[in-house]
Structure 1
Amino acid sequence: MRQYLKHDEWRIIEEGFNPDYQRASESIFSLGNGKMGQRANFEETYSGSTLQGSYIAGVYYPDKTRVGWWKNGYPEYFAKVLNSPNYIGINVEIEGEQLDLFKCKTEGFVRTLDMQKGILSREFKATLNNGKQVKVDATRFLSMSEPECAFIRYAVTPLNFTGQLAFEPYIDGDVENEDSNYDEKFWNILTTNSKNGEGELLVQTKKLDFRVAYAMNWDINTRNHKVSSSHNAARTSNRVEVKASENETIIFDKFIGVTSSLNHQNEQLISKAQQRALQAKTVGFDKMLKIQINHWATIWEHSDIKIEGDVAAQQGIRFNIFQLNQTYTGDDERLNVGPKGFTGEKYGGTTYWDTEAYCIPFFLATAPQHVTRNLLVYRYKHLQKAIENAEKLGFTGGAALYPMVTINGEECHNEWEITFEEIHRNGAIAFAIYNYIRHTGDEKYLEEYGLEVLIAIARFWAQRANWSGEKQKYVILGVTGPNEYENNINNNWYTNKMAVWCMTYAAKALKIVETMNPSRYQAILENINFKYAEETAKWAEICEQMHFPFNKNLNIFMQQDGFMDKEQMMADDLPASTRPINQHWSWDRILRSCFIKQADTLQGIYVFEDEFDTDTIRRHFDFYEPRTVHESSLSPCVHVVLAARLGKQDKAYDLYLRTSRLDLDDYNNEVHEGLHITSMAGTWMSIVEGFGGKRVKDGKLHLNPIIPQQWKSYAFMVVFRGNYLEVKVSQDNIEIISHAKNEATLMVYNEKVTVKPSESVTLSLKPTYYA
């Protein structure tokens, strides 16, 4: 852990500049607006360790796969999140010397991410080697309302001299990905141009022909300046020289327009970027800042969680919600939620099973319905690619295996134990369809898109399972479950459970669509050559006779067939010096250990909670949680939900802090590589599904709240069937406030509660309801 950030309810604050923390802070203070994102690199020159990071949503590079030994079925490329041209740069000279915080003395350094407003700011005093001292105030934001525009205000005040300042705004296309497999640069620079007050740059990916145009414009608060411009093959810049008096503040505003071929014709890219930059300048920094603040106010109105009495917990959840909302807005069905969002390059791709398992619950309850629907449509449009992915591995007849990592539907993950074996991802995608429908009531989605996906996934499971003559059961061999610290195992309980559920639900979905729209039903079956009687009978047979590892002595489901052959140890017995074990142990040692990277069997119990009574859940939690090292960012949140369900409030609270402050406190010593965006949705789950006890059953919203003793109160918003409800929980009461247009009915502790529009209902808290 590394704790250097000040606790504050609405802001992330770094006081004092430490170069050792710079790359971590670049991740934590990142900005995005759904269309593009930017690590918190400095605008001015910085010669210390840094990861320059600028990213454009949907633009990627197919970096040739690099593996030690090629295996049939490996993808030919790994889709890299593309580090794009640096558009924030403003070099600053003070009496001829470059301002560089790695080389000069700094005082009063404060970096602040205002999450309520979506603004990043810095202030500091710098004393340069020439003895000149300046005060700097820098503010920037990526517009949420105009997502092709970025705004920077850079103010310099001479403190002990009157003299020459120079600002050099630039756009630099000579960038590279730190994670390039072959040290290759991924961009061709097609055009650079500059003139006084403006600059443009057009780049093209060396493969796939994505094109991105950048244009800059600027303004300054004094007429007493001299301007020149220059450009070369990779860079465009202006130079603005100013004579500044002592204690006179010179304000330099930079306006950037960014357009991509995803949204514009190639021949229009530069002109559109120029229009965006000029439009930004015309409206002005101050007015656009007000619009930005108002836009974020609307976002927070629907997604905020308020915690009273625990600033660290409050800051943690808001940081997670902020990053989710600035990563994905749901307006473009071609986009998804990348595991690092716009904060770093690690992992590549933009889509993992994280989206379906963790992010969809968040967006279902906090955003308009179309946001989640677009995430599902994204997968539907990749169905043919998923079928092709399965064909590469030997599956036939329209069976689909969705990729573990993708950006366009093709598998691009090249570790065999993940690519070939972590097939449970198919189950998360199918369950997301069910989860969406049970929340929204939008069964029409099945006939439009969902049924085809469900059938293709069920076909995969029917072929992936095989009959065991020894066990006289169907088995699924050679898999990796959610716990990636076990590879090539047999009969992972979670995987087998998801397989059975998928085939069962696909059969139900067939009946639903046949009843709703017989003509559409027939068209689907004919289009995919579906043999109803034969295929559904096979599904039913496999589901009825699936093998699930079970230990009679412990009376629990085993994570996989050989789990009890391992030496049984507890995570608490591991020395702190060896944690995380993935940074200290060999992979061989990890695979032979009983230690669990993330919830696996417990993941299945979380998903199918209604099938298990409290005693069963408790037995499994008490067995598996002590063996879990939580070295996946996706792990703590599931344990919080189950611990809260079991009345284990201290455990739930401790794990909540871990998931909510995973990046802020750098639990896994890896935040310099980027943030854990998708797991941040798990932090929301921890509160709303964990402490709030939110469930959806039989078309009804259920709440069963408890409250940690460390909190005075907490409150969250949830949208269900179009009704926005606010839930406030104190140590004594629960208040349900309706922000809906219609009367809303829900279940609280299994008692029916009705709330009229703009009214509220108050009930007594039952903190031991489950236990």
Structure 2
Amino acid sequence: MKNYIQATEWNIIEEGFDPHLNKISESIFSIGNGRMGQRANFEESYSGESLQGNYVAGVYYPDKTRVGWWKNGYPEYFAKVLNAANWIGLELKFDGELLDLNTCKVSDFKRVLNMKEGYLERSFTAELLSGKKVSVVSKRFCSIADDEIAALHYSLVPLNFSGKLEICSFTDGDVKNQDSNYDEKFWEEVARSQQGPVSYLTLRTKKTAFEVCTAVQSSVFKNDKAQNLQGAAEIRDKYVAQLAVLELVQNDRVDIYKIAANLSSMNYATTELQQAAQQAIARACAKGFEVLLQQQQQAWENKWKESDILIEGDVAAQQAIRFNIFQLNQTYTGKDARLNIGPKGFTGEKYGGSTYWDTEAYCIPFYLSTAPAEVAKNLLVYRYKQLDKAIENAQKLGFKNGAALYPMVTMNGEECHNEWEITFEEIHRNGAIAFAIFNYIRYTGDESYLQQYGLEVLIGIARFWKQRVNWSADKNKYVMLGVTGPNEYENNINNNWYTNTLAAWCLNYTIEAADLVKTLAPQEYARITEKTKLDTAKEFEDWKNIASQMYYPYDEQEGVFLQQDGYMDKEQVLVKDLPASERPLNQKWSWDRILRSCFIKQADVLQGMYFFEDDYDLETLRRNFNFYESRTVHESSLSPCVHSILAAKLSDEQKAYEFYLRTARLDLDDYNNDTEDGLHITSMAGTWMSIVEGFAGMRVRNGKLKFSPFVPKQWKSFSFNLNFRGTTLRVKITATEISITNHSAQALEIQVFDRYYEVAQGEQSITYQLCV
């Protein structure tokens, strides 16, 4: 666990430069706008350890699978979001001496991520080997006001010398992914050119033939006077640059501006791509850096009005939740249903930038409550549009009759994960997608989604579960063999309680959804049943039969649902008895030792009890929580938030707070020693859930919002906004009361604990006294 980030309410601050922490900071200080993003790499040359990363949403490469033993059903590739052209590059030489923080003496180093206004700022003083001292301040952002644009202002001052400064402002597309399976570079050059002050570099991905045009206008000023730029003396493949040579006097100020446009063939025909880039860069440059920054600040002000959470009395917690919300809003904006949320967002390459079940299980609630309903809906439409691929994925594994198995990892709907215990066995992802449909409709009331998209997806998933179970004569029940649950420290096990529970629920919910569509839109129901060739009498009967006779492992002595068959055969050691020197297990133990242990990576049984909490009384939940939490090592970023929410429901306020702080500061404090390869974006949504569903106890029941709140003793109060069925609410909770302000033109009935209240129209604040 690291502790070098200063705790402030609106800024992430690093003071002092430690090269050993640089890759962690590159992740933490990442910026993006939903369409593109970049790690916090330095603009100037840096020969030290670094993970360069510039990413363009939706552009990927099918990197050939690398495994030692090929198995039937393996995907041929792993889809990866690509490290794209580096547009921020500056090579700076003072009398021929390169500015490189790896070889300089660095002082007064400060890096600030301004979350309120949406930009990254860095300052430092560098003493070169010759003794020359240079002061530098840089500021850059990816615009959420215009998501094709990014901008940089780099200012320097020679402090103790006069001499010649050579500036090379470049765009470099000769890059590769660190996670390339065969050390292959994925880009080919299409065109490069220099047109006045603007450089153009167009690259095409191998195999997938995506094209990206990066247009960059560079400008240089000395003491506010514009300087001439010329084409680069060095010309090479996938590289374009401009040069400037200045004679400086001590304390002269040099300002370098780079405004960039990143456009891809996802949004423009390849024949029109460069022309569109010309228009975009002209549009941005006509405004200039300062106007673009003002628009960025205004756009972020609007974002925070929708999604901010205010915590009074706990700066570390306040900083953490804003950091998580900031990164979520940088990663996904909901404008494009072709895009989704990679577990690392635009902050690193691990997990390939592809889509996992994290989106449905963890991210949907955040976007439902903090953005227009269309944003979350687009995440669901993304899966609907890939239904045909999900059916193909199932067919490759021997399933028939329109059964759909959604991929564990994907870009285009095709499975591209190549670890057998994940690809073939972690089939609970199907259930998360079905639950997200239910969750969306429960929250928005948009039942029309079923007839437009949802029912077809549910039918495909239900058909998969029907074929995936088998009848056990021994147990006289339906069983599911050879699966991996959310706890990936168990592979190839039988009757994972969570997976069996999800499957039975899916079968029942599909029938319920079909009946609803039949009632509300009989013509659409006829269309869907014809399209899917649904035999309602036979298939519904089969699904009901399976759901009613599903087997669920249970331990009578402990009174808990067993994670899977044979779990109690394991030596039952508690996490508190593990030596700290042996954790994290995935970095200290052999894999077979982990598999033979009782230790749990993340919520598994408890994940199911979180989804279906109304099905279990508090004592059942408490027994299972106490049993499994004591065996959970939380070595998945997705784990602490679920435990925090359940602990809050059980009124274990201390544990709820501890788990919140762990999930909220997972990356800021590098809890699991893995932040250097990117942030845990999807788990950040769990941080929001820990507060709103945990501490505030927010639920949707019978179409109404319900709150069962408490305030952690470390806080004075907390407050947040909610969008709910056309209303915008501001909720504030203190130790003794909850106040809800309705900013919309319609009244809303709300439940607080066991009482109902009507929050009137307009900006009237109504306060309800809480028991102390």
TM-score (norm 2): 0.98
Contact 2:174–2:237 under 8 Å retained in 1: no
- Take 2:66 and 2:229, find their aligned partners in 1: how far apart are those partners? 48
The equivalent residue for 1:762 is 767
Contact 1:88–1:170 under 8 Å retained in 2: yes
How far off its partner does 1:195 sit?
A: 4.9
How far off its partner does 1:516 sit?
A: 0.9
The equivalent residue for 1:611 is 615
Q: Give 1:447's match in structure 2, choosing from 442, 448, 451.
A: 451
Q: How many residues are treated as equivalent by the alignment?
A: 767
How far off its partner does 1:86 sit?
A: 0.8
The equivalent residue for 2:160 is 160
- Take 2:33 and 2:228, find their aligned partners in 1: how far apart are those partners? 34
Q: Give 1:262's match in structure 2, choosing from 256, 262, 266.
A: 266
Give the letter aligned to residue 139 of structure 1: K
Structure 1 position 2 matched with structure 2 position 2: yes
- Take 1:165 and 1:296, find their aligned partners in 2: how far apart are those partners? 36
The one-character-per-residue Cα deviations of 1:30-76 (angstroms, maximum 9, x if unpaired) are 00000001000000000000111010000000011111111111101
The answer to which of 132-141 and 346-355 deviates more is 346-355
Q: Give 2:506's match in structure 1, choosing from 502, 505, 510.
A: 502
Structure 1 position 145 matched with structure 2 position 154: no
How far off its partner does 1:3 sit?
A: 1.3
Give the letter aligned to residue 544 of structure 2: A
Contact 2:188–2:238 under 8 Å retained in 1: no
Contact 1:349–1:405 under 8 Å retained in 2: no
Structure 1 position 296 matched with structure 2 position 300: yes
The equivalent residue for 2:66 is 66
The equivalent residue for 2:110 is 110
Contact 1:706–1:766 under 8 Å retained in 2: no
The equivalent residue for 1:57 is 57
Structure 1 position 402 matched with structure 2 position 406: yes
How far off its partner does 1:349 sit?
A: 4.4
- Give the 5 Å matches for 1:205-284: 205-222=205-222, 223=225, 225-230=227-232, 231-284=235-288
Contact 1:226–1:242 under 8 Å retained in 2: no
Q: Please, which runs of 5 or more residues in structure 2 have no aligned partner?
A: none
Give the letter aligned to residue 330 of structure 1: G
Structure 1 position 731 matched with structure 2 position 735: yes
Contact 1:192–1:232 under 8 Å retained in 2: no
How far off its partner does 1:277 sit?
A: 2.1
- Take 1:368 and 1:585, find their aligned partners in 2: how far apart are those partners? 45
Contact 1:257–1:275 under 8 Å retained in 2: no
Identical counterparts, % of pairs: 58
- Take 2:226 and 2:332, find their aligned partners in 1: how far apart are those partners? 43
Contact 1:599–1:628 under 8 Å retained in 2: yes
Q: Give 1:379's match in structure 2, choosing from 348, 372, 383.
A: 383
- Take 1:474 and 1:586, find their aligned partners in 2: how far apart are those partners? 34
- Take 1:46 and 1:477, find their aligned partners in 2: how far apart are those partners? 52
The answer to which of 383-392 and 214-223 deviates more is 214-223
The one-character-per-residue Cα deviations of 1:12-43 (angstroms, maximum 9, x if unpaired) are 00000111111111111000000001000000
Q: Please, which runs of 5 or more residues in structure 1 have no aligned partner?
A: none
The answer to which of 201-210 and 162-171 deviates more is 162-171
Q: Secondary structure at the match of 1:216?
A: strand
- Take 2:367 and 2:771, find their aligned partners in 1: how far apart are those partners? 28
- Take 1:95 and 1:738, find their aligned partners in 2: how far apart are those partners? 63
Q: Give 1:465's match in structure 2, choosing from 459, 469, 475.
A: 469
The answer to which of 736-745 and 586-595 deviates more is 736-745
The one-character-per-residue Cα deviations of 1:203-248 (angstroms, maximum 9, x if unpaired) are 0001110000111112233446342212322210001222333222
Contact 2:220–2:256 under 8 Å retained in 1: yes
Give the letter aligned to residue 389 of structure 2: K
The one-character-per-residue Cα deviations of 1:337-396 (angstroms, maximum 9, x if unpaired) are 110000001111421000000000000010101001100000000000000000011100
Contact 1:225–1:243 under 8 Å retained in 2: no
The equivalent residue for 2:718 is 714
Structure 1 position 527 matched with structure 2 position 504: no
Q: Secondary structure at the match of 1:87?
A: coil
Structure 1 position 23 matched with structure 2 position 44: no
How far off its partner does 1:726 sit?
A: 1.0
How far off its partner does 1:158 sit?
A: 1.4
The equivalent residue for 1:345 is 349
How far off its partner does 1:273 sit?
A: 1.7
How far off its partner does 1:735 sit?
A: 1.1
- Take 1:122 and 1:349, find their aligned partners in 2: how far apart are those partners? 27
Give the letter aligned to residue 124 of structure 2: F
The one-character-per-residue Cα deviations of 1:126-158 (angstroms, maximum 9, x if unpaired) are 111122111100000001111111100000111
How far off its partner does 1:282 sit?
A: 1.4
How far off its partner does 1:199 sit?
A: 1.1
- Take 1:76 and 1:142, find their aligned partners in 2: how far apart are those partners? 34
- Take 2:216 and 2:278, find their aligned partners in 1: how far apart are those partners? 7
- Take 2:382 and 2:124, find their aligned partners in 1: how far apart are those partners? 44
CA root-mean-square deviation? 1.0
- Take 2:173 and 2:548, find their aligned partners in 1: how far apart are those partners? 59
- Take 1:358 and 1:330, find their aligned partners in 2: how far apart are those partners? 16
Structure 1 position 423 matched with structure 2 position 427: yes
The one-character-per-residue Cα deviations of 1:66-123 (angstroms, maximum 9, x if unpaired) are 1111111110110012111111111122232111111111111000000111100001
TM-score (norm 1): 0.98
Q: Give 1:644's match in structure 2, choosing from 643, 648, 654.
A: 648
- Take 2:314 and 2:206, find their aligned partners in 1: how far apart are those partners? 50
